[in-house]
Amino acid sequence: MTPPEERIVRIEVNGRPTSALVEPRTLLCDYIRNHVGLTGTNVGCEHGVCGACTVRIDGDIARSCITFAAQVDGGKVETVESIAPSTDELHPIQRAFEAEHGLQCGFCTPGFLITTQALLERNPDPSETEIREFLSGNICRCTGYVGIVNAVKRAARDLRDRGT
Amino acid sequence: MTESGGFPYPGGGRFVGARVKRAEDPRLLTGEARYAADIQLPGMLAVAFVRATEAHARIESIDVTEALSLPGAVAVLTAADLDVAPVPLPFEFDGLAAPPQPALARNKVRFLGEPVAVVVAENRYQAEDIADRVRVRYDRLGVVVSPEAARAADAPLLFEDLGTNVLFERTESAGDVEGAFAEAAHVFRKTFHTNRFVACPMEGRGVVAHYEPRADHLKVWSSTQTPFLLRTTLAAVLPYPEHRLQVIVPEVGGGFGAKMSTYPEEVAVAAASLKLGRPLSWIEDRRENLLAANHAKEQQITLELALDTEGQILALRAEHVGDAGAYNFNSTSCLIEPFIGARNLPGVLRLRNYEWTVVSVATNRSPVGAFRAVGSTPGSTTRDAFLDEIARQLGIDVVKFFRKNMIRADEMPYHQATGQVYDSGDYIGSLDQAVELVDYAGFRRRQEEARSEGRYLGIGFSPFVEATGWGSEIAKSQGLPFSSHDNASVSVDPSGMVTVATSMASQGQGHETSFAQVAADVLGVDVATVRVTQGDTDVSPYGMGTFASRSAIIGGGSVLLAAEEVRKKVLAIAAKTLEASAEDLEIADGRVAVKGAPQRGLSYPEVAAIAHWDLGVRSDDDGHRLAATRFYDPPATFSNGCFVALVEVDPELGTVKLEKIVGVEDCGRVINPMIVEGQSHGAVAQAVGGALLEHMVYDENGGLITSTFMDYLLPTALDVPPIEIAHMETLAPHTAGGFKGMGEGGLMSAPGAIVCAVVDALSPFGAVLEELPLGPEQVARMAGSLATEGGHS
């Protein structure tokens, strides 16, 4: 078998230019984890269902386990590592998950945080139904979603208060 | 709920009972946490497994020639290359034929997905390519995919030497069952078959093994719940000297029992690293997880109940047939479903006469093992559905029926027919509180009104009692006599900060927070000055680890006892320095002072500095070193509670809308109510999956149909309803701190509540439970909207 031809991929990850010589079949999640060295993006199912690996590609939420790195060549990606404003400080969404016990084992959490961030940018005051629908592509096995839904409500409130 | 000051340490009581934010969260929220897949070591290679593509076959040959020619190939190892012993039984068990699972299949494969060879390559992509090119020639054998088929006279045998597929069969009884049945006014009998569903943590299994030959040190990182048991097991089967073996548990993305046992893959990866002298990483993918991590929950249960004219239970007979899967893959895994199921089925019922039969049968399916509320989910679900159906037939309200037959608070401690001694609790009180929380009478009115509009609402109740904190005593009373060894160390360093090291391991339960709360209150310091370490066998004292709701009782209890020792030492040092009697001192807010004279005192940093450096105070016999390690093997204690489900069912579409689930939980003294509620919420979500969605489906060739999340359905935020949890707090009379375990009740009890609620909603159609889970097809069939036909496998 001839090894597939490698190519250079350039992606801006969390505002920083990155590049690597990769096989065409390299998944975006593996590019982020292995080539960029950001391991906050967790891979839960590798077939696009569980949502743990959710990142933003040019602002849109996407599953990095069913996206090839080469598809994002020249694009911008944001991961969970981009959310906190600094090492000492959490983002209001992260603080809300902490306060409402919106996480237990933490494995699905990066995907939920990224998805919540996208929801609240689009809809700053979502109803409970809108929250549950928007998050229904992310699976959590620990929390029963109680703390997560409450955290999104709290984060929405905090971000609105901060905006005024 | 415990309010501050409720914890019995003068000056303490600030943290136990409080919603302390979790110490774990900042790293988990920012991507800083390191799971097994995040571990990178210089020169590390990737492992992929060649897995059986047949459910039952002889291995004729394994050809690795082409595989080894592929880019990145380092090695392909089969059973012939890795000579390791199978995982032994931890204790003798009378009558158990326990064929263990080898690390890699030898001569024969017995289920689809069984590991056959270890592929080692430069990276995982290459490892998977190589695994695809390992040519295994199989000679197919007959396949059995159900206990019924496996027990047939001419059934193919998984283990020819045994001469049977039945691994265990035993009948036990208490009281006069036959006499009670002879006197009964009513006798009911029914057989139930519960669905096979799995723990499915969001992180699969993961193992990194690194053998350094010159240091003679084997390090194994594993996403296990039981680091010390893994170390001891690996040392025995590899074999390798245990004192040179270090197991480290990185961040773990959920376990729920499925990461408790030592798996063949853990042994194989460690053995391969020993052989190659290189660091190896195996990160399970989801298909492997669904195929080969332990399955759970499936039992066939036949119940026979004798009642008097008043609806009082006289006697019960139960037969539990468990599908063990292809191996008793480790410990007593083939037993735990039916054996624990039968022992715990009576639960809250006052039962004098009970006869129970346990059968475990090997089949060509994935091995069965632990999953939250082990054995009890099927037992509890079928018991509830059975009692619900009987109450309806007798025209008795099911809550009245339960109340009449439940153990009363004034009967505590209660000796159950199965030999367990329930220590404390107000079981009927929990039921009554649940009845009040859901406004039962109001619901029945609402149900009537809805029916007149053609809408079908239903309610289901499931009171439960939960054996928790498996130490030696409770294990013995459950008929599985393993002895426990759990320890915690508490130490104060020279700067006055506190370190707790425990033999428990966390998969998201927040041990670092809960144990710090206990230590902080006993020592009278701020919780922020306590750091909890766990999951490294080089750092912590020995212990069994986290399973069976053990951590709060045994982990919390051992931390409490060790902290008490250190507290005594702190008081002794301060007394000597302050020239006061220890009895005249009090500790509060990190300061030891003479009662009534707060200016005469010392801070923790001052006490710690004196203890370490002051030659006048420090004693030569180490008596004043501010550290202690304490062992704890607690007496049996049982939590209790009740779950209630409220549903609306569409009889034509067969859809079930969960309105809400309400739970009452009594787990003794609550350390952190936020964490306790979170555990209940999660258990309830798994109950929703088990009752309505999740089912491992096999075809007749032993092929697993549900090997992706497109087919094996986990509940999402749209499936799980709002959940309300109320606490009762009956302190455990005999355990340190009054703690009882918790976290399993929701999965023991809520599935039964949901099932009974669906049946209740469809009662105008004469519906009864026929098969699980209650997917749309099953529900429509129950409502008579679909013709009845054969069930699925």
* DSSP characters over B553-593: IIIHHHHHHHHHHHHHHHHHHHHHHHTS-GGGEEEETTEEE
Specify whether A71 is located in the same domain as A96.
no
B592-602 pLDDT, tens digit per residue, is 999 999 999 99
Task: Using alpha carbons, select from B359, B444, B350 the residue that is nearest to residue B147.
Answer: B359
Percent of chain B topping pLDDT 70: 97
Cα distances from A28 to residues A20, A24, A65, A122, B188, in angstroms, run 12, 10, 6, 25, 59
Q: Which residues of B touch A116 (CB under 8 A)?
A: none
Q: Is B25-33+485-631's fold the same as B370-385+394-474+635-782's? A: yes
Residue B723: both structure tokens together: 């959940």
Specify whether A12 is located in the same domain as A74.
yes
Specify whether A130 is located in the same domain as A74.
no
How would residue B788 be classed by pLDDT, with cut points 50, 70 and 90? low
Q: Say whether pLDDT at B1 is over 50.
A: no
Distance of CA B597 to the CA centre of its chain: 50
In degrees, to the nearest 5, what angle opens at C-alpha B333 toward C-alphas B543 and B175? 100
Alpha helices in B626-744 (DSSP H): 673-688
User: Tokens 């059995």 map to which residue?
Assistant: B144
Residue B314 CB coordination number (10 Å): 23
User: What does the pLDDT average to over B554-572?
Assistant: 95
Q: Which residues of B touch A106 (CB under 8 A)?
A: 24-25, 27-29, 33, 251, 253, 508
Among A82, A106, A121, the domain boundary falls at: A82
Cis peptide upstream of residue B239 (ω within 30 degrees of 0): yes
Are the C-beta atoms of B247 and B224 separated by less than 8 Å?
yes
Specify whether A33 is located in the same domain as A66.
yes
* CB-based burial label for A85 (10 Å; 0-12, 13-18, 19+): exposed
Q: Provide the pairing of β-strand B280-283 with B45-51.
A: parallel
Q: Say whether pLDDT at B271 is over 50.
A: yes
B252 vs B250: CA distance, rounded Å = 6
Which one of B29, B32, B710 has the shortest CB-CB distance to A103?
A: B29
Which one of B202, B252, B674 has the shortest CB-CB distance to A141?
A: B202
**One-letter amino acid identity for B386?**
F
How would residue B8 be classed by pLDDT, with cut points 50, 70 and 90? low
Q: What are the residues facing B121 on neighbouring strands?
A: B46, B73
Q: Provide the pairing of β-strand B245-248 with B217-222.
A: parallel
Specify whether A74 is located in the same domain as A109.
no
In degrees, to the nearest 5, what angle opens at C-alpha B247 toward C-alphas B244 and B252? 170
Q: Most B CBs within 10 Å: which of A6, A55, A94, A105, as the mutation test of the B interface?
A: A105
**One-letter amino acid identity for B60?**
E
Q: Say whether pLDDT at B170 is over 60.
A: yes
Task: Using alpha carbons, select from B186, B207, B171, B234 the residue that is nearest to residue B48.
Answer: B207
B28 vs A98: CA distance, rounded Å = 10
Please give the DSSP secondary-structure letter assigned to residue B406: B
Range B370-385+394-474+635-782 classified under CATH 3.30.365.10: yes
Q: Can you give chain A as a three-state secondary structure string?
A: CCCCCCEEEEEEECCEEEEEEECCCCEHHHHHHHHCCCCCCCCCCCCCCCCCCEEEECCEEEECCCCEHHHHCCCEEECHHHCCCECCECCHHHHHHHHCCCCCCCCCHHHHHHHHHHHHHHCCCCCHHHHHHHHHHCCCCCCCCHHHHHHHHHHHHHHHHHHC
Q: What is the CATH number of the domain that holds A128?
A: 1.10.150.120
Which one of B30, B717, B720 has the shortest CB-CB distance to A81?
A: B30
Task: Using alpha carbons, select from A35, A105, A22 the residue that is nearest to residue B36.
Answer: A105
How would residue B710 be classed by pLDDT, with cut points 50, 70 and 90? very high
How would residue B697 be classed by pLDDT, with cut points 50, 70 and 90? very high
B736 vs B249: CA distance, rounded Å = 27
> Is the Cβ of B521 closer than 8 Å to some Cβ of chain A?
no
Specify whether A27 is located in the same domain as A64.
yes
Specify whether A148 is located in the same domain as A123.
yes
CATH placement of domain B25-33+485-631: 3.30.365.10
Report how many domains make up chain A.
Answer: 2
Q: Most A CBs within 10 Å: which of B130, B202, B686, as the mutation test of the A interface?
A: B202
Interchain proximity B685–A80, CB inside 8 Å: no
Q: What is the CATH number of the domain that holds A55?
A: 3.10.20.30
Are the C-beta atoms of B541 and B489 separated by less than 8 Å?
yes
Q: Which residues of A touch B285 (CB under 8 A)?
A: 46
Residue A56 lies in a domain: yes
Specify whether A108 is located in the same domain as A144.
yes
In this structure, what are the phi and psi dihedrals at residue A106, rounded to the nearest 5 degrees?
Answer: 85, -5
The dihedral built from the CA positions of residue B373, B375, B377 and B380, taken in this order, carries a sign that is negative
Residue B453: both structure tokens together: 């509009």
B504 vs B552: CA distance, rounded Å = 10
Residue B624: both structure tokens together: 């004043």
Q: Say whether pLDDT at B623 is over 90.
A: no
Specify whether A101 is located in the same domain as A49.
no
B295: left (phi over 0), alpha (psi -120 to 50) or beta: beta
B26-78 pLDDT, tens digit per residue, is 999 999 999 999 999 999 999 999 999 999 999 999 999 999 999 999 999 99
Specify whether A76 is located in the same domain as A128.
no
Q: Which residues of A touch B203 (CB under 8 A)?
A: 42, 44, 105, 107
Q: Say whether pLDDT at B4 is over 50.
A: no
User: How far is the alpha carbon of B745 from chain A, nearest alpha carbon, in Å?
Assistant: 14
Inter-axis angle of helices B227-237 and B264-276, to 10 degrees?
A: 60
Cα distances from B428 to residues B349, B463, B464, B674, B757, in angstroms, run 10, 8, 10, 25, 20
Interchain proximity A94–B38, CB inside 8 Å: no
Specify whether A146 is located in the same domain as A101.
yes
- Per the structure, the complete domain to which residue A101 belongs is given by 92-163
* CB-based burial label for B311 (10 Å; 0-12, 13-18, 19+): middle
B515-550 pLDDT, tens digit per residue, is 999 999 999 999 999 999 999 999 999 999 998 888
| Of the candidate ranges A41-45, B9-13, B437-441, the one whose mean pLDDT is the lowest | B9-13
> Is the Cβ of B296 closer than 8 Å to some Cβ of chain A?
no
B761 vs B458: CA distance, rounded Å = 4
How would residue B340 be classed by pLDDT, with cut points 50, 70 and 90? very high
Question: HSE-up of B331 (CA within 13 Å, CB side)?
Answer: 20
How would residue B485 be classed by pLDDT, with cut points 50, 70 and 90? confident
Cα Rg, chain A, nearest whole Å? 16
Per domain, the residue ranges of chain B are: 25-33+485-631, 36-141+205-252+259-292, 370-385+394-474+635-782
Architecture of domain B36-141+205-252+259-292: Alpha-Beta Complex (3.90)
| Mean of the per-residue pLDDT values of chain B | 94
Q: What are the residues facing B489 on neighbouring strands?
A: B501, B629
Q: Which residues of B touch A145 (CB under 8 A)?
A: 681, 685, 716-717, 720
Q: Say whether pLDDT at B577 is over 80.
A: yes
A31 vs A36: CA distance, rounded Å = 6
> Is the Cβ of B288 closer than 8 Å to some Cβ of chain A?
no
List all residues of chain B from 199 to 218 with a beta carbon under 8 Å from chain A.
200-203
The dihedral built from the CA positions of residue B571, B574, B580 and B584, taken in this order, carries a sign that is negative
Q: Say whether pLDDT at B6 is over 60.
A: no
Are the C-beta atoms of B315 and B306 separated by less than 8 Å?
yes
In this structure, what are the phi and psi dihedrals at residue B499, rounded to the nearest 5 degrees?
Answer: -120, 130
Is the model more confident about B470 or about B602? B602
Are the C-beta atoms of B387 and B402 separated by less than 8 Å?
yes
A72 vs A56: CA distance, rounded Å = 11
Are the C-beta atoms of B269 and B84 separated by less than 8 Å?
no
Q: Which residues of A touch B28 (CB under 8 A)?
A: 103, 105-106, 109
- Sheet containing B637-650: order of strands: B456-468, B637-650, B655-666, B723-728
Residue A1 lies in a domain: no
Task: Using alpha carbons, select from B673, B690, B645 the residue that is nearest to residue B742.
Answer: B673
The dihedral built from the CA positions of residue B641, B740, B333 and B115, taken in this order, carries a sign that is positive
Cα distances from B216 to residues B81, B233, B277, B584, in angstroms, run 21, 18, 10, 53
User: Tokens 């074999």 map to which residue?
Assistant: B239
Specify whether A71 is located in the same domain as A23.
yes
